[in-house]
A and B are shown apart, each in its own frame.
Chain A
Amino acid sequence: DIQMTQSPSYLSASVGDRVTITCRASQSVRTYVSWFQQIPGRAPKLLIYAASSLRSGVPSRFIGDGSETEFTLSISSLQPEDFATYYCQQSYSTPYTFGQGTKVDIK
């Protein structure tokens, strides 16, 4: 199985900050990576697919990058509604594994 390892597991930031979350795959997944945002008590929401494609309707401050084994999700200017947990996921091969999550909290 392909392991997806996110870092950090937790980060504390202020409104307006730029933050970056990293996701490393245990083997190449080309660009078959998605990023999801989850607010407590709600279902996950797709932000980015194919490593860098922004889903329609998602604010442009969310930026995905990377290929093969290293991927990043950046938020260019953190907004109050962005405080949530973020997950990466590979869809290169089954099982479609997720990272363990990164919780973004208010400093």
Chain B
Amino acid sequence: EAGVVQSPRYKIIEKKQPVAFWCNPISGHNTLYWYRQNLGQGPELLIRYENEEAVDDSQLPKDRFSAERLKGVDSTLKIQPAELGDSAVYLCASSTRTSGSNEQFFGPGTRLTVL
């Protein structure tokens, strides 16, 4: 079974430029998460989707960040315009309630560097 797929793996941009990240969750997982992780720190939730509905976006900086999961499968996270402080690893994770546990399966992340 394929895991969570993310692309690109690395992205280097100049400040004020836009950037987008893509995530394809594990097949059948209805819950999708976007996290931001700074170096040597724990992940911080940005947004959580149940199918196509964003059920928790309280930590998403809405002035510059946006996300979508139009068909309830894959998702994109966009930053426009990017700032120096946005440099981090952006992790996507997915989960399903059918397993009975709250295990989240993470992708390898996209490492963003804003110059």
A and B: interacting chains: no
